[in-house]
Amino acid sequence: MSTSDKQCRIIALFNQAGGVAKSTLTQNLGYHLAKREHRVLLIDLDPQASLTKFMGLVPSQLQKTVADAI
């Protein structure tokens, strides 16, 4: 693996339309990259927190969210 292959890559999935599986695709892409031994960080910036919920977390029970960082 070359040095450039080890660099962090940011993948943003976007579509103007609502409900077209952006969050679902993000979750599944993250899952499959992790299965291939890539280190993955999924960042949920959407206030509706679908990705957070898809990952089995309860947003109201989190002590800190990305909103605190912002």
Ligand X SMILES: Nc1ncnc2c1ncn2[C@@H]1O[C@H](COP(=O)(O)OP(=O)(O)OP(=O)(O)O)[C@@H](O)[C@H]1O
| Residues in touch with ligand X (CB under 6 A) | 18-24, 46, 50
- Is 40:30 a contact under the CB 8 Å cutoff? yes
Does 26 participate in binding Mg ion (rule CB under 5 A)? no
Residue from 29, 40, 42, 50 touching Mg ion (CB under 5 A): that is 50
30 CB contacts (<8 Å, ≥6 apart)? 40, 42
Question: Which is closer to Mg ion, CB of 50 or CB of 65?
Answer: 50
Q: Coil, helix or strand for 6?
A: helix
Residue from 23, 44, 49, 52 touching Mg ion (CB under 5 A): that is 23
